[in-house]
Structures are given as structure tokens and as C-alpha cells.
Amino acid sequence: MHEEVVSISRKIADTILGQCNEKGEHDYVLKRWAYVPGMLLMAMMRTGIQFNEPAYAAFVERHMDTFIREDGSIRTYSLEEYNLDQINQGKNLFWLLQETGDERYAKASHLLAAQLLSQPRTSEGGFWHKKVYPFQIWLDGLYMASPFLAEYAKVFGRPELLDEVAHQLLLIERKTRDPLTGLLYHGWDESREQEWADSRTGLSSQFWSRAVGWYMMSLVDCLDHFPVTHPKRGTIIGIFHRLSLALLQVQDKETGLWYQVLDKANRKGNYIEASGSCMFVYSLAKGLGRGYLEKGFEDATLRGYQGIEEYLTEEDAHGIHLKQICHGAGLSKERNGSYDYYISEEVVEDVPMGLAPFLLASLEVERYVNRREL
């Protein structure tokens, strides 16, 4: 498995570069400042670091620089939208600042942090997912904003902001966790007004795999920036550990993967979904590598990664192809959060929403296996 794992992360990155070269530039990434392009660029940046490959890093810098203006403002970004999705691409700014010393990147970081400091909140201080989604907190938003704010706190010497990060992570887990399964519901509406929200609890009704994947990644990525002395660090690790245990209970025994709706594997229409499965493998592998999870999680993690390769990928002259990716899902009047809704969303292949977490998972599994084999 060792050689196979080492090679596949580079194959994914080269596939992405190949798409770029065919088009002149990667049109999807250039179109607007957004969370999925941001994740794709971050995955490419980490690949460049892991392999010491300048072409991957240059890809990131070239695309980021189409957005960051001389005064640190960001093309297509609006603070006043108060949209947590718009924070995610900013995670690439810290690496660019470290590599170049260019103050544009610092100014852009301050701009995004200013949004979070004034983000609308629930009565207990939870960030609204967007201004247009009043009093709603979604698992997705924790990944978009929390690792950015945690790294911002470390880079710019603002340790009090780690308390804010911990508050966001712990609050949403307390609001959305199901005590029976240990899984987390996609969203919570404090006002209980939304079509998708239970009138008594305010919760959405299903455990959507990618939403839980966003939260898993937010936990393990935020921990990179918490000092061992922070009073909430151990609690965050404990939450990550128990959610990891819950995910192992719904891991498909045959494939090692996870279903679109996590706890309804045998229900008609449900399917193995790639992006969530990749996010879980990424999080579990990183948790193993950092010591947050004990060795007993290794088998499930590696079975998950092997399942991605065996059941969800194909390779040809154009590179690696990833299938069974949920194109998008959310919560709104038209998107009622029901089981039928989640399985009705379009299923696609070879889109950055799946390729980015696949690359991140490959890098973490490779790093873990390499360390284990030393």
C-alpha cells in the first residue's frame, strides 16, 4: 500500500494541473472568491509543501493573486454579506504571507477577520451561517470560518480569539448532537421558523455526510493552532474522538465508506458519497497522525481510503477521476432537509468539491503510512 498511497496524491494534483493547462487557467477557481475553490487551492498548497514541488505552490499563488488587490481588498468579496462561506479561501493567505512577506495578504486577512468579529450571532454567540440565514448555525460554517480564525489568532498574536473558536466549535456540537447515534444534524434554527427546522428543537432532520465531514475537518484543523495549555484544547480533542467513534458505527462494512445520509444505509435511494467519505478519511488519518486517536482507529481509516480507490475512482490518460459526489446541498425553503431532499440532489464526478477532500485525504494517509513504516 505504501507506494500506492505515495503516488496517488501527486496524481490527483497533476490531474488538477492538467485541467488548468487544458483551459489556460482553471476557470472554476478564477470565477469568484468562494469556499470550494479555496479548499482546492489549500489542498494544492499542502501538496506543494509535502512534495517540495514549486508547480503546485505557483498554481496557488497565481490564482490567489487574481483576487488580492494592492490595498488588501478582495475581488468579488463583500464583508457586508456576512457569509461564512466567504472566509474559507482566506486560509491560503497565511502561507502566502509567510512565503512572500507581502503585506497585501496580511491586509486581506484582517478584512476577513473583521467580518467574523462582527458576524451576526445567535443569543448564545453562535455565528449565523449567513446574514440571509438569520439565527441559523450550520455544520458547514464551522469549517469555513473556525480554522481561519484559529490560525489568524496564532499568526497575529491574538490568543483571545482562540476562545472564540472554541466557543463556536463547542456550541454547535451541543446544539446539533443526537445522543442516540452520536451524529450531528446538519443545521439548527434558534428561531424555529425555517421550513426544515423542527418546531420544538429547531434541528434539521437528517445526518448529511458532508455536513458532518465539514465539522470533523474543522475540529482537526483548528487543533493545529491551539497550544497545549489552552483550557478547551482537551475538550475539542474529546469531541473529535467521540464523533470519530460514532462515524465508525455507520461506516459501511463492505466498502469502508459512508452513505449520503449516514444512518440510513439500507433505505431506498441512498448511496455511497465521495466527498463526505474523503473528509472522514482525511480527519481520521490526521487524528491518528496527531495522536488524537489511538491505533484502534487505523484499520477503519485505511479501509476507508482503500474503499475510495476501489469503489469511487478510475484512472486514465487524463488522470484520476472521482465519482459519486453530491454536487451541493443546503437548507432553505426549497431545500427542506428531508431524506428525500438529500438523495435528490445531483450526483456528479470530477468536481473540486470531491477532488479537494480526496487530495487532502491522500496527503494525510500518505503522511501517516510513511511515518508508521519508518
Q: By the 8 A CB rule, do 213 and 283 touch?
A: yes
Phi, psi at residue 184, to the nearest 5°? -115, 135
Phi, psi at residue 208, to the nearest 5°? -80, 130
**Looking at beta carbons, which pairs linking 126-134 to residues 24 or more positions away fall under 8 Å?**
126/168, 126/171, 126/172, 126/175, 126/190, 127/84, 127/168, 128/82, 129/83, 129/84, 129/187, 130/81, 130/82, 130/83, 130/84, 130/85, 131/80, 131/81, 131/82, 131/83, 132/81, 133/331, 133/332, 134/191
Strand partners, 316: 319
CA distance 97 to 94: 5
Three cell numbers, residue 51: 512534495
Q: By the 8 A CB rule, do 87 and 155 touch?
A: no
Strand partners, 121: 127
Nearest of 180, 80, 200, 103 to residue 188 by alpha carbon? 200
CA distance 80 to 118: 10
Q: Is 299 a catalytic residue?
A: no
Residue written as grid cell 503510512:
369
Catalytic member of 140, 178, 221, 299:
140
CA distance 157 to 175: 30
Q: Which of the residues are catalytic? A: 140
